[in-house]
Amino acid sequence: MAVKITCITKDNGNHMNPHEAITNLGWVNEETRAIGTSTREQMIEFIEKQGGSAYTRDGYGGVAYLIVKTSSYENKYVKTIADGVESDNLLFLAEC
């Protein structure tokens, strides 16, 4: 199953700060039209353990997939990758 990420939330509300962790991600399944919100941990489990995929889509139809990374402090987080380039596409999504 694949879901499109539509929005993010950060605890401290500092949406554009790349050093503040995303706490929640809003999503829609474009096939079934199901919508929901998952914590960062739930999304990581969905990708790593359930074989799911998540992505963002830009205004031109381009897709960037979420990948799971681990910080130097061993904290897992998600970010996007498009055309082999890791980026912060999630920060440009609306606040949930």
pLDDT digits (tens, 9 = 90+) for 6-56: 999 988 777 777 778 899 999 999 899 999 999 999 999 999 999 999 999
| Angle at 1 (CA atoms; ends 37, 59), nearest 5 degrees | 70
Position 3 scores a pLDDT of 97
Of residues 80, 81, 76, 77, the one with CA closest to residue 90: 80
Which residue segment(s) compose the domain that 82 sits in? 2-95
Note the pTM of the prediction, 2 decimals: 0.87
Contacts (Cβ under 8 Å, ≥6 apart) of 88: 18, 79, 80
Position 60 scores a pLDDT of 78
Whether 36 and 54 have beta carbons less than 8 Å apart is answered as: no
pLDDT band at 96 (very low <50, low <70, confident <90, very high): very high
Position 91 scores a pLDDT of 87
Give me the number of domains the chain comprises. Answer: 1
